[in-house]
Amino acid sequence: MAQERKKYTIDDIARELGVSKTTVSRALSGKGRIGKDTVERVRAFVEEHEYRPNRVAQGLARSKTYNLGLVIPGEYSGMPFFRDCIDGICQEAYRYNYDILFVVTREDGRAQLQRLVDNHKVDGIILTRTVMNSGHVEFLKKSRMPFVVIGPSDDPEVTSIDNPNREASRELTDFLLMKGLRRLALVGGNASHYVNRSRKRGFNDAHQEKGFHPDPALLFMEVEDYRKAVRVADQIMLAECDGIVCMDEMVCALILSCLREKGIAVPARMKLASMYDGSQLESNLPPVTSIRFDTKGLGRNACMEILGMLGEELRDDLFPMNYQVILRESTQ
C-alpha cells in the first residue's frame, strides 16, 4: 500500500528549511523583503511537497472569510435564468478558492442578509435581482459591504453587471414590426424589477424608430400566475392583437397554456415571442422565438467584479455580453 504523503504546515516548512514562519509566509505571499535565494528555496520546497496554504488561516490573518454571499429571490429561484447564473458564479468563485453562501429571500425581508453581514460571514455580496427602491441595496450601501448587482440599476453608486436587455428587446420587437405586426401586446411580471423596465424600453424603442406608438392598453404587468394570465389572454383576444411579446420564459409559458386552453393556434392565429429563452420554449410545439443570452457568462462576470473589488488579481477579462434572437416557428 502506498505511503500517504505528509501534509506540511508553515511550521513544518520553517523547521525543515531553518527559517522563521514569517519568512515562509512572506516568501509565499511575495510581500516583504526576503532574499531571492530564500524565496526560491521556500517555493521549491512547497512545490516538491505539494503544500497548499490553509484558506481559513489565511482568512483570519487577513480578516477575510473567503466566502461570498449570493442573494436569490425565493419566488423566482427555480427559473432557468437563476440556475445558469448561479452556475457561472460558483464556477468562477471556486477558481479563486472562495465558497458561496446562499440566501433565499424576498425583497421585503432582509433578516438573513443582515445576519450574514452583521456576523461577518462573507467578504462581499452578489444580488441576483434588483427592484426599484430596493431595501437590500440601501442596506448594503449603509453597511459598506462590497456588493455587485446583476441587472440594470439607476443608482450611479451601485456596481451592476447586466445583459443588453434593452438592445435585445428592441431587436426582437423590430423583427416583429418588420413582419407587419402592428397590434403587439407586451406581457410581463413584476413591474418594479429593473430588468422588466429595460425590456419595456426596448419594446418602445423599436416602435418609436418605426414611427409607431405602442398602445398603452396592450401593456400587461404583474402576470405571475395562471389566473392572471387567463384574464390577460382574454383581453388580448378582445383587443384583436396580432402578436404577443412576453418579457420572460415563465410568463410566456403561462400565456401559451392559456392560448392552448382557448384553442388559439400559434402562429396561425397569434404570433408569440419571448424576451428570454429557455429550454421549455425551444422544445415547445411550436418552438417559441426568443432571445438567448449568455447567462452563465453573466454570472461569471458578476463574480469576477466582486472578486476584483475584494482585491483579487483577476486572471481573465470579463466575458462579452452578447445575445442572439432565435427565430422559431411561433412567429412564422
Q: Give the model's pLDDT for residue 76.
A: 58
What does pTM read for this prediction?
0.74
What is the per-residue pLDDT across 211-256, written as a single tens digit (0 to 9) for each?
A: 998 999 999 999 989 999 999 999 999 999 999 999 999 999 999 9
In three-state secondary structure terms, 52 is coil
Domains of the chain: 10-53 (1.10.260.40), 67-163+296-321 (3.40.50.2300), 165-293 (3.40.50.2300)
Residue pair 300/242 in contact (Cβ under 8 Å)? The answer is: no
In three-state secondary structure terms, 108 is coil
User: Distance (Å, rounded) from C-alpha 132 to C-alpha 154?
Assistant: 9
Which band of pLDDT confidence, cut at 50, 70 and 90, is reported for residue 130?
low
Helices (H) and strands (E) in the chain, counts: 13, 11
Residue 6 cell numbers, joined: 505528509
1: Cα within 13 Å, side-chain hemisphere: 2
User: Distance (Å, rounded) from C-alpha 61 to C-alpha 26?
Assistant: 13
What is the per-residue pLDDT across 283-318, written as a single tens digit (0 to 9) for each?
A: 888 999 999 999 999 999 999 999 988 888 888 888
| Mean pLDDT to the nearest integer, 120-132 | 81
